[in-house]
Amino acid sequence: MAILVVAAHDGKTVRANVANAVAAAGQMGSDVTVLVAGSNCDEAAKSAAAIQGVAKVLQADDAAYANWLAEDIAPLVVKLAPNYSHVVMAADSVGKNIAPRVAALLDVAQVSEAIQVVSPDTFVRPIYAGNAMATVQTADKVKVVTIRPTNFKAGATTGGSAAIEKIGGEGAKGLSSYVGAELSKSERPELTSAKIVVSGGRGLQSGENFKMLETLADKLGAGLGASRAAVDAGYVPNDYQVGQTGKVVAPDLYIAIGISGAIQHLAGMKDSKTIVAINKDEEAPIFQVADYGLVGDLFQIVPELTAAVEKK
């Protein structure tokens, strides 16, 4: 049976992690359909159709879908679900919001943040902040699965030419309405897809001091992340948080600066290819996962490092 991938998008293009979800879906079955629900989302539907491995795109245009309210999107997915063996979403803030609502309406379990597809009904997922890996099997007729994007290599996002079929919307349920957003503006690469991530913790001491990391990040072409402590203290916005309950990143290079390395933080970055830790406490747990550790004062090291690296 076919697999339904539910895609988040901004109206123009589907999110980068949709290609990861398509790749994961391709391991659950062979016939991958992508649902693009939105308001005036022709462009987004086209971007989904161009992803390698997509057999078909369903485009549901309805004013109710403009802002991804779970109460309105879930009934559409539930209506389509019986035609599919799996409903798959990326485990980002959209997928985490909508997929469980879909699962409960279908009276099925959800597999959260799968990192491996063992077989079409069996998945590996991290539990306890990634300190244990559970292999779980589901017997439900429709399997609702969110996948951790960093664990599934995306195929090409151009060149595909899946057919786009327009379907009707279900309208608004009137339970919720969108008021607005306060999005962090940044020219830097997005945290979850950046090749290099520079991340700061409580050791930075202030939001002002984070500018130092911005300079380093810009020179490296890196995304900027943070520990929970740095976010809680108001140094940086909430969407910078890397960890068990924030974002999961797996760049080629992760530079942890003034971060102690609590398990909740490690859960979000320990799959990075190369990890660098800069910390004045040589006992800091972050050094246990770091490929290269540098013990010292970040206020001295970061400017030196910034001067030493070549601009990308």
Partner 1 sequence: MKVLVAVKRVIDYNVKIRVKADNTGVETANVKMSMNPFDEIAVEEAIRMKEKGAATEVIAFSAGPAQCQETIRTALAMGADRGILVQADGELQPLAVAKLLKAVVDKEQPGLVIVGKQAIDDDSNQTGQMLAALLGWAQGTFANKLNVADGSIEVKREVDGGLENIKIKMPAVITTDLRLNEPRYASLPNIMKAKKKPIETLAPDALGVDVAPRLKTLKVEEPPKRKAGIKVKTVAELVDKLKNEAGVI
Ligand X SMILES: Cc1cc2nc3c(=O)[nH]c(=O)nc-3n(C[C@H](O)[C@H](O)[C@H](O)COP(=O)(O)OP(=O)(O)OC[C@H]3O[C@@H](n4cnc5c(N)ncnc54)[C@H](O)[C@@H]3O)c2cc1C
Residue ranges in 172-231 that form contacts with ligand X under rule CB under 6 A = 201-203, 227-230
Which is nearer to ligand X, 162 or 284 (by Cβ)?
284
φ/ψ of 9, rounded to 5, equals: -160, 170
Stretch that binds partner 1, among 32-40, 57-65, 200-208, 299-307 (CB under 8 A): 299-307
Residue 86 near residue 27 (C-beta atoms within 8 A): no
Choose, by CB under 8 A, the member of 108, 117, 257, 298 that binds partner 1.
108
Report if residue 40 touches partner 1, rule: CB under 8 A. no
Residues that bind ligand X (rule: CB under 6 A) add up to a total of 27
- Minimum Å gap between C-beta 132 and ligand X is 17
- Give residues with Cβ within 8 angstroms of 1, minimum separation 6: 29, 31, 83, 84, 85
Residues 208-227 contacting partner 1, CB under 8 A: 220
Instruction: Name the 3-class secondary structure at 19.
Output: helix
Distance between CA atoms of 78 and 66, rounded to whole angstroms? 18
Distance between CA atoms of 257 and 240, rounded to whole angstroms? 14
Two tokens at 57? Answer: 């795109």
Residues 250-279 contacting ligand X, CB under 6 A: 258-260, 262, 264-265, 268, 279
Residues that bind partner 1 (rule: CB under 8 A) add up to a total of 88
Stretch that binds partner 1, among 27-35, 46-54, 124-132, 206-214 (CB under 8 A): 124-132
Report if residue 309 touches partner 1, rule: CB under 8 A. yes
Report if residue 241 touches ligand X, rule: CB under 6 A. yes
By a kind-dependent CB cut-off of 5 to 8 A, residue 94 interacts, out of partner 1, ligand X, none, with partner 1
DSSP strand pairing (122-127 vs 196-200): unpaired
Sign for the CA dihedral angle at 311, 281, 261, 203 comes to negative
φ/ψ of 100, rounded to 5, equals: -65, -30
By a kind-dependent CB cut-off of 5 to 8 A, residue 96 interacts, out of ligand X, partner 1, none, with partner 1
How many CB atoms neighbour CB 211 within 10 A? 11
- What is the CA 30 to chain-centroid distance, rounded? 23
By a kind-dependent CB cut-off of 5 to 8 A, residue 167 interacts, out of ligand X, partner 1, none, with none
Distance between CA atoms of 273 and 291, rounded to whole angstroms? 9
Residues 236-255 contacting partner 1, CB under 8 A: 237-239, 244-245, 247, 252-253
